[in-house]
Amino acid sequence: MPNTSNSEPAAEPTVDVLPNGMRVAVTSIPHSQAAVLAAYVGVGSRDEARQTLGLSHYLEHMLFKGTESRPEPTAISAAIEGAGGSLNAFTSRELTCYWNRVPFDRLPLAMDVLADSVRYSMLAESEIERERTVICSEIRRAHDQPGQRVMQLISDAAYGDQPLGWEIAGDLDSVDAITREDLATHVETFYRPANIVLSVAGNVDRETVVELAERHWGSNWPDGASQGTPSRKSADEQMSNNLAQIEVRELEQCNLALALRSIHRLDPDRYAMALLNEVLGGGMSSRLFTEIREKRGLAYSVGSHPTAFDDAGHLTVMAGVTEEHVLETVDVVFEELGKLVAEPVTDDELERVREHAVGSFRLGLDAAASWCHRAGGMLLANGFIEPVEETIAGYQSVTKADIQRVAQRFVREDNLAAAVVGPFDQADALRERVDGFSPN
């Protein structure tokens, strides 16, 4: 057995700020064979106008489509893949991230390619039009997949007609309206040094990374790049006028989602919220899995997860059930939510979910990529990187009373939305349940 009392502390990132305001996080993992780089940009779909929704996602696609020094659309991917690495990007409601992963001795190449793609895209008209077709295909595919479609409907139901309720990729009309000028203005407005975090993790050293960052990111920015970015509009607390959204389709089963508006990212109750989720639907030992699948056999898959933004959040419960079991499943979820409000969890349950949360968190940091994205995402979103042991201490501090109290904060009347995609014909009964929801 290893002697955990003498084990080395977890690697922790360092943070340097370049003269232009760009932050550089470095997590050195000497035993790693990789170097993972990510550029996090503080802009996502909630920062967009409704008529050009999907702009951040569209730009994410375009930054792989040719630069001044690599004009061929495939040159960027070929440079990284030619070194044995991989690269990709993603867009969320609050940020856009571009990353690549290479053998550690190819760090200079990876830094060059990442900076080149993010800073010097040509945004060629021919590529914009070609990619428009690709993005529209992506939107149609998401619409055709019931699991993805129900998540969009539940976002709409929980947030209504505001950016947090809109689809990240936009819709066919908004994507069709995006022009090269829109993309270029988006870059000029948000892709500024102080709004970007560069995170690097793996077998790298701080001095080398900062030197490369200064070389590739420290200068040659356009006029105005030192200015601040537009303020983000606060989320509206109001939910949708249509709290039960149903899309009838000829499928083998119904995809069910329930959501309750909850807490924001840095809320003091965030650790208690995480453990509450573990109790409710965080795994195969959770209450929902035990009651819905193991005891009643209503669903093959069932679970829950919390989502948190700068100033808002929600808890989602998902299940795949046959049409005749939708309402019974909803009733079971309501019952379990009511129990969390009415009575504390047991001592054994608290310790089980605490151990699961801590263990899952530690295992989630088993690779350089995990360290890279944790540091980059937290530094951009929160302005700081929470030390590993501080996160664990947060979990360790949660009491039974904390879990019950946080449940009472958001499991309440007029704070529940539902969505179903599938062969469901009991819409009125579902709406009655949603409208009449009460944890008591």
Query: For every one of its 440 residues, what pLDDT tens digit does the chain have, with 9 covering 90 and above?
Result: 344 444 455 579 999 999 999 999 999 999 999 999 999 999 999 999 999 999 999 999 999 999 999 999 899 999 999 999 999 999 999 999 999 999 999 999 999 999 999 999 999 999 999 999 999 999 999 999 999 999 999 999 999 999 999 999 999 999 999 999 999 999 999 999 999 999 999 999 999 999 999 999 999 999 999 999 999 999 999 999 999 999 999 999 999 999 999 999 999 999 999 999 999 999 899 999 999 999 999 999 999 999 999 999 999 999 999 999 999 999 999 999 999 999 999 999 999 999 999 999 999 999 999 999 999 999 999 999 999 999 999 999 999 999 999 999 999 999 999 999 999 999 999 999 999 999 98
So what's the pLDDT on residue 32? 96
For position 335, which CATH number holds?
3.30.830.10
Asked, for residue 346, whether it belongs to a domain, the answer is yes
Residue 233 within any structural domain of the chain: no
Instruction: Supply the pLDDT for residue 249.
Output: 96
Assess whether 355 and 423 both reside in one domain.
yes
Residues 206 and 251 in one domain: no
The reported pTM is 0.95
80 φ, ψ (degrees, to nearest 5): -75, -45
Contact in structure between 438 and 260 (CB atoms under 8 Å): no
- Is residue 66 within 8 A of residue 73, CB to CB? The reply is yes
Distance between start and end Cα atoms, the chain:
48
3-class SS letters over 162-205: CHHHCCCCCCHHHHHHCCHHHHHHHHHHHCCHHHEEEEEEECCC
Q: Does residue 286 form part of some domain?
A: yes
Quick check: 24 and 195 in contact, CB under 8 A? no
Closest CA to 367 of 91, 118, 99, 106: 99
Same domain, 266 and 352: yes
Q: How many domains does the chain have?
A: 2
Give residue 11's pLDDT.
77
Q: Which residue in the list 60, 127, 131, 167 is annotated as catalytic? A: 60
- The residue out of 217, 236, 269 marking a domain boundary is 217
Residue 390 lies in a domain: yes
322 part of a folded domain: yes
Instruction: Indicate if 202 and 314 belong to the same structural domain.
Output: no
Do 251 and 212 belong together in one domain?
no
258 shares its domain with 122:
no
Q: Are 168 and 312 in the same domain?
A: no
142 and 257 part of one domain: no
**How, if at all, do strands 14-17 and 23-28 pair?**
antiparallel
Strands 23-28 and 196-202: parallel
Q: Give yes or no: residues 109 and 65 share one domain.
A: yes
Residues 337 and 210 in one domain: no
Residue 175 maps to a domain: yes
Whole-number pLDDT of residue 2: 42
User: Which domain does 190 fall in, by range?
Assistant: 10-217
| 381: in domain | yes
192 and 277, same domain (yes or no): no
Same domain, 56 and 124: yes
Is residue 181 among the annotated active site residues?
no
In a domain, 230, yes or no: no
